[in-house]
Structure 1
Amino acid sequence: MRERIFNNKWLLAAVLVLLAILPFVGTSQFLMLMLIQVFILAVYGMSYDLLLGYTGIVSFGHAIFFGTGAYSVGILLTKMENPNLLFVAFLIAIVFSAVVALLLGVLSLRVKDVYFSMITLAFAELFFIVAEKWSSLTGGNDGIPYIRVPELFRERVSLYFIALGFLVVMFLFLRRVVDSPLGRVLQAIRENERRAESLGYNVLQYKLVSIVISGMVAAMAGGMWAVLQRYVSTTVFSLDQTISALLMTIIGGVGTLTGAILGAGVITFANEWLSSLASVHPIFERWLIFFGIIYIVIVMYFPKGIIGTIRDKWARSSERGKRDAAQTDQRGKSVL
């Protein structure tokens, strides 16, 4: 079922206009930085939602693609004498991540459910170890500091609009994918893989396409993250990075895309707010516990994510209204 109120073009356009004028209404530099992070992480979350929400694939190694994009862009910008060749660095990162995704899919998609998840987790740990030990290229534990970026990406306002444009383009691209015949087959595989296979669809090939597209989008988000931070470390390959994508998707709403955007905002601002409270009172020093409590509350009261739950309630309310109208009309006819 397509998103209803949250897929309304006018609502999305209004939100986009609001975000576009935000830098011109006295917004602080800190808030702009937070929003840039949200825009980039939202793309990362949407790439994971394509796997989990639309294909039914649970991966514990999605950080592979985010980290691949971040390190590819970071290494290439460091090695290149001209940082204005950023587009070339991104192109190479996308191609490399597509190859990695294809190899990972071929090697792991033949197994299902928890076994696939464990294999992806093992691959993620492998990439983490390689990034840590291959210090001559990746910088090891020290990472890659002082990444040179074009002048346009150093100014906060211009980077804000670049990140916002990046989010809009990726959202429209992924929306086109999930609304296409390919997307409908992926959703059929999610609902009933055996039935899709019995109808003649090559499930493995469709899953490979899904993981390649998801990996390329995640790599672009990782590349943008490297440009924003101007620093890359092995944490981009950590399990925490994959868990972040999982949380963004679940909190916002699995299979909604817009849910990943909302989830990225909730996680980013909740982390910042709770961590800042640690300097106010000692009880907040273990702020991750409070974040866990917030997550539990969201899952309890929004079992399908914030957007997914509200969307379902909106649909049930609309159906109830139609039934009541039909019953009223039927009673009127009976009286006549």
Structure 2
Amino acid sequence: MRAKLFNNNLWLGFVLVALCLVPFVSSSKFLLTMLISVFLMAVYSMSYDLLLGYTGIVSFGHTIFFGLGAYSVGILLSKTKQPNLIWAAILIAVVGAAVIALIIGFLSLRVKDVYFSMITLAFAQLFFIISEKWSSFTGGGDGIAYVRVPTFFNDRVKFYFIALAFLAVMYLFLRRVVNSPFGRTLQAIRENEQRVESLGYNVLRYKLASLMISGCVAAMAGGLWTVLQKYVNTNVFAMDRTIDALLMTIVGGVGTLFGPIVGAGVITFAHEWLSSLSTQYPFLERWLLFFGILYIVIVMFFPKGILGTIRDKWRYKGGSRHAASDSKRRESVL
């Protein structure tokens, strides 16, 4: 019963309702901006979890798709000076991400494990170099200093609800993907790729589809990230952006989808809290060191991530209770 209760989505509904009430409880523009950032990074991390947690692919180049989305919106809106083209820009980003994912996947998914990771890292560095050198479009190292966005995005409350709806829709979409026969096949590939292939499945095709879906979701998150920041630079293609997605997924719980949302919230607020403390207390000037210690503590006490560990303990207690009741039932029969 407890395992079923944990899997029930009623608690997710309560979380969404609570988040919907935030703008009415607090008028802090800073808090709303922080939460918008959490929502967008959560979507980006969920897209990475589709690869890492459900397909068993470790990619060091996921930032490519996030950066494509960010620069697609930034370039189109800054060059045309037509803010209302934002949805066209995001559509272009999604199509571009699908094409790039198909090309990268076709070239790199034929190799496995660390070799694939190194190839994706090389592609990420290639896109980073292109974004720096193609200054006529990307602005070079300085990036695009100002991106004019539609006026309704300037209202933080409206943007907050758009970002929250985006997070909810992407979560439901990805959950539908992983719970479908396609998603079950991806999980089987993660567990035993050779066996799946021996059963007649085209493993490469499934991996390509997973990479394309993941890339498209990440591109949408990157596009809205540019809208939030109102500028874009080469940092969106930096290795740090992929590491962010990896850490948020691990901290929250790999293979849970909701875990990356928790991880995005924990890491974003911890980052902001520690950096603000460093301005008040000089001994915290090296606050990144404490940030690293926080990661170590989470990994030690939550080996499967925050949500993954809690879920396993909840199921274990529920299983123990069912086992005890079954034992008593058998004893009464005897």
TM-score by length of structure 2 reads 0.98
> Residues 52 and 101 from structure 1, CA distance in 2 versus in 1: closer, same or farther, beyond 3 angstroms?
same
Shift of the alpha carbon at 1:8?
Answer: 2.1
> Where do 5+ consecutive residues of structure 1 fail to align?
none
Q: For 1:280 and 1:25, how far apart are their aligned partners in 2?
A: 28
2:167 equivalent in structure 1:
167
2:12 counterpart of 1:12: yes
Encode CA deviations 1:252-294: one digit per residue, 9 max, x unaligned.
0000000000000011001000111111112211111111101
* 8 Å CA contact retained: 2:252, 2:263: yes
For residues 136-190 of structure 1, what are the alpha-carbon distances to aligned partners after superposition, in whole Å with 9 as ceiling and x for unaligned?
Answer: 1100111111101111111110000000011011001101100111000000000
Of 242-251 and 77-86, the range deviating more from structure 2: 77-86
Distance apart, 1:46 and its partner CA = 0.1
Offset, 1:224: 0.6
3-state secondary structure, aligned to 2:279 = coil
Report if aligned partners of 1:70, 1:236 keep a CA contact under 8 Å in 2: yes
Separation in 2, partners of 1:276, 1:70: 27
Provide the residue aligned with 1:220 in structure 2. Answer: 220
Cα displacement (A) at 1:53: 0.2
Match of 1:290 in 2: 290
Contact preservation (8 Å) 1:252, 1:305 = yes
Deviations 1:232-252 (A, max 9, x none): 010100110000000010000
1:102 corresponds to which residue? Answer: 102
Q: In the alignment, which residue of structure 2 is the partner of 1:29?
A: 29
Distance 1:293 1:8 in 2: 34
Counterparts of residues 95-134 of structure 1 (less than 5 Å):
95-134=95-134
User: CA contact under 8 A between 2:6 and 2:314: conserved in structure 1?
Assistant: no
In structure 2, give the amino acid aligned to 1:229: Q
- Identity rate, percent: 67
Answering whether residue 178 of structure 2 is matched by residue 148 of structure 1, we say: no
CA distance in 2, matches of 1:42, 1:79: 29
Corresponding residue pairs, total: 332
Residue aligned with 1:53, SS: helix
Instruction: Indicate whether 1:205 and 2:181 are aligned.
Output: no
Contact 1:44 1:221 in 2 (8 A): yes
Letter in 1 for 2:154: R
Q: Mapping of 1:58-69 within 5 angstroms? A: 58-69=58-69
Question: Please, which runs of 5 or more residues in structure 2 have no aligned partner?
Answer: none
The residue matched to 2:201 in structure 1 has which SS? Answer: coil
Partner of 1:238: 238
Deviation of residue 81 (structure 1)?
Answer: 3.2
Letter in 2 for 1:304: K
Q: Partner residue of 1:313? A: 313
Q: CA–CA distance in 2 between the matches of 1:315 and 1:11?
A: 16
Q: Alpha-carbon deviation of 1:4?
A: 5.2
**Equivalent pair of 1:4/1:311 in contact (CA under 8 Å):** no
Give secondary structure in 1 for the equivalent of 2:54.
coil
Q: Deviations over 1:289-328 (max 9, x none)?
A: 1111010111111111011011111111111001110111
For residue 261 of structure 1, what is the amino acid of its counterpart?
I
Per-residue deviation at 1:22?
A: 1.0
Cα distance in 2 for residues equivalent to 1:7 and 1:90: 33
In structure 2, the CA distance between the partners of 1:103 and 1:4, relative to structure 1 (3 Å rule), is farther
The separation in 2 between residues aligned to 1:81 and 1:31, in whole angstroms, is 29
SS in 1 for 2:26: coil
Alpha-carbon spacing, 1:87–1:7, altered in 2? closer, same or farther (3 Å): farther
